[in-house]
Chains A and B, each alone.
Chain A
Amino acid sequence: MLNDYLTSDTIRFADNVDGWRDAINQVSAPLLASGSITPAYVDAMTASIAAGGVYIDLGYGIALAHSRPENGVQQTGLSSLRVSPAVLLNDDPAHPIDLFFCLAATDQQSHLKTMMELAKLLSDAELRTRLLAATTPAETSTVIEENGTPE
């Protein structure tokens, strides 16, 4: 479940991030370090956003950065980065982002299961509010724990 991927190592917080590119680099960092993704994956996500791919903005200041498995995923992984203050996705004032997730999926199957759990978590108004308010990995983990596993 999500807690297998979102751990004290992959749940991160950063103040005064230098724009969306820096946010993408920082949210990718733990996945790069663990070998879950290659630098090509970071480049692919960045290029997609720069080309206007602001659809990764899910609403409520949350963005889910991702690319295709063949763009450099070695192992399924997920990380998060809470930025303060918000940064503008692709420098677009319509897309201020407070919380970035980075999803790396090796195949459609693992992608689906993780997406289902994330969808459940982020679509729950109360859990979403608490997730955005969390200031430590432990607080974030508690919220994810309460989300449980979809039936």
Chain B
Amino acid sequence: MVHMNIDKVLKELGVAGIDVDHADLGSVARGDADAVFVGRDIAEAAEHLGDLVVLNSIIDLNELRTKVRETLDSKGVSVPEAGVGA
């Protein structure tokens, strides 16, 4: 669900070229991704993965919009000023 919602938020923001994937904790290692979005319950278990973004709810699009945008900013990805349909 987070995968789908991140795709949706990126589309809204008009940002292309970001690869989004999802995996369970056992199948992902540090360095596999520039940023790892996780639900709050597995935040501790996922700490070793590096750049972690912790979500309070995986169906809160507003939270996700804010956090995806912050992550893009911190990674130096430019976001078009007026996001498409945002």
Contact = CB atoms under 8 A, between A and B. Distances in A.
Contacts of A60: 57, 59-60
A54 interface: yes
Interface in B11-42: 39, 41-42
A123 interface: yes
Contact of A122 (B41, B42, B59, B62): B59
A132 B54 CA distance: 25
Contacts of A122: 1, 59
Interface residues of A, number: 16
Interface string B38-71: 0101100000000000001111111000000000
Contacts of A47: none
Nearest to B57: A59
Interface of B: 1, 4-5, 8, 39, 41-42, 56-62
7 contacts: A57-B41, A58-B58, A59-B59, A59-B60, A122-B59, A123-B1, A123-B61
